[in-house]
Chain A
């Protein structure tokens, strides 16, 4: 359902409020099916906000986007899907661990997707975001 909406209704991101509406719908669905996931997402948000220079904005398709110096580190949709940009080398290594997936839309890029389904996944999501943060930091300093 999420993939279908992004694929066929993605153009609605240009309608003001549509992305926020979509993400709220996802959060309501999460609240009905797995409410603890919302607590985990709050916890990730609180952890990441402790890092220097992190700002949170709304993602263009809805969700909470983590930025450092106006560069996106990653974003989490209301259904617990973390999308973030690493690089192909790190992505290959992580794919071998079997926890992350190719990005749901951008295949064959440095983008990855990771579903947060357990409390362990919540911690792993923070690790991934930390990795992305360090990558952005290193790019910013060069």
Chain B
């Protein structure tokens, strides 16, 4: 057992992973990141550094490209498990983050494998220093990103029939279609309102019982409903990752007995890089919209 733990191969799995978790914890609790965001460097630079660090432990024994990829997978699984245990990340978040981890740890391992085969210390130190510099610069930089997602749907009903369901709707019984909802991500199931006026409270209830508290800020009957999110659940899947800012439904009479329903949502993203995470945020928001809008369509078109 002692021999196993002290082997370079095992150390190459354990020590880089522990180091990265410690750096991630330090970044999280030190206040280095003023906006509290999980920055690009934590998902790109740290995994690359981890891969290089692991390759340094493995530098004295030859290993094939297949073994390199296999070791990448083991490193990534350990990193995901440690993120779950020590960084308090939710399981769906880890599903979302795992492709980034797998690829950038693999980039690090293959880079390190190449670096240490040439054994040019100056070059190696330069690469690692450059990556560390990017990491600290990115961690200290201010990060802010907001976006809006809009979806449209034509409903075969007049605006007056649709409007009540836009404000509040009974429980959605239809099975989830979106794959993330199917594997456990909470989906919207019901909306309630305390009144039909500006300032009234509204609740959006999710399948796991979590509730988004909302306040109606714009109430134009048969035309537009806008609500601000006043409190969102402290779920590890969303806490510190995304803030839903406001939502909106717009009804447009098409003049032929049908109505175009538009659903808009505004959110602030606290995980970077946005070129990756915003794809997920848009996809999730779009599927939340569609689940609610499909339900509104079904209720409105019922005889």
Q: Which residues of A contact B (CB under 8 A)?
A: 17, 20-21, 24-25, 27-28, 30-31, 35-36, 38-39, 41-42
Contacts and interface: CB of A to CB of B under 8 A. Distances in A.
Chain B interface main SS type: helix
Contact of A39 (B66, B102, B106, B111): B66
B64 A38 contact: yes
Interface residues of B, number: 14
Interface of B: 64-66, 69-70, 72-73, 102-104, 106-107, 110-111
A38 B65 contact: yes
Contacts of B103: 21, 24-25, 28
A39 B65 contact: yes
B131 to A, nearest CB: 10
Chain A interface main SS type: helix
Given A28-B72, A28-B102, A31-B70, A42 B107 contact: no
Given A31-B70, A35-B69, A38-B69, A21 B107 contact: yes
B107 A24 contact: yes
B65 A20 contact: no
A24 B104 CA distance: 8
Nearest to B106: A24
Nearest to A78: B65
* Interface pairs A-B: 9 shortest CB-CB: A31-B69, A38-B66, A38-B65, A24-B106, A24-B107, A35-B66, A42-B64, A42-B65, A25-B103
Contacts of B72: 28
Nearest to B66: A38
A28 B106 contact: yes
Nearest to B67: A38
29 contacts: A17-B107, A20-B107, A20-B111, A21-B103, A21-B104, A21-B107, A24-B106, A24-B107, A24-B110, A27-B69, A27-B106, A27-B110, A28-B72, A28-B102, A28-B106, A31-B66, A31-B69, A31-B73, A35-B66, A35-B69, A35-B70, A36-B66, A38-B64, A38-B66, A38-B69, A39-B65, A39-B66, A41-B65, A42-B64
